[in-house]
Amino acid sequence: MLSGCAFFPFPHTEQVVPSVTGIVLRDGKPVSGTHVFVLPHLTRNGCEVSTYSAITDENGHFAIRGDRDLALFVVMGDRINSWGICIGEPGQLVEAWRARGFGFPPSSTKVECELTHQPIERTNEPAVCRPNGA
What residues does each domain of the chain span?
A: 17-131
| Angstrom distance (rounded) from CA 38 to CA 53 | 6
CA distances from 130 to 13, 25, 54, 73, 98 (A): 28, 12, 18, 34, 10
- pLDDT score of 108: 77
Average pLDDT of the segment spanning 37-54: 80
For the stretch 50-89, pLDDT in tens is 888 999 999 999 999 877 555 555 565 566 667 888 999 8
For the stretch 87-126, pLDDT in tens is 998 788 888 888 776 666 677 789 999 998 876 665 555 5
Average pLDDT of the segment spanning 43-47: 69
* Architecture of the structural domain at 17-131: Sandwich (2.60)
Write down the pTM of the prediction. 0.74
User: Which amino acid does the sequence have at 81?
Assistant: N
- pLDDT score of 67: 72
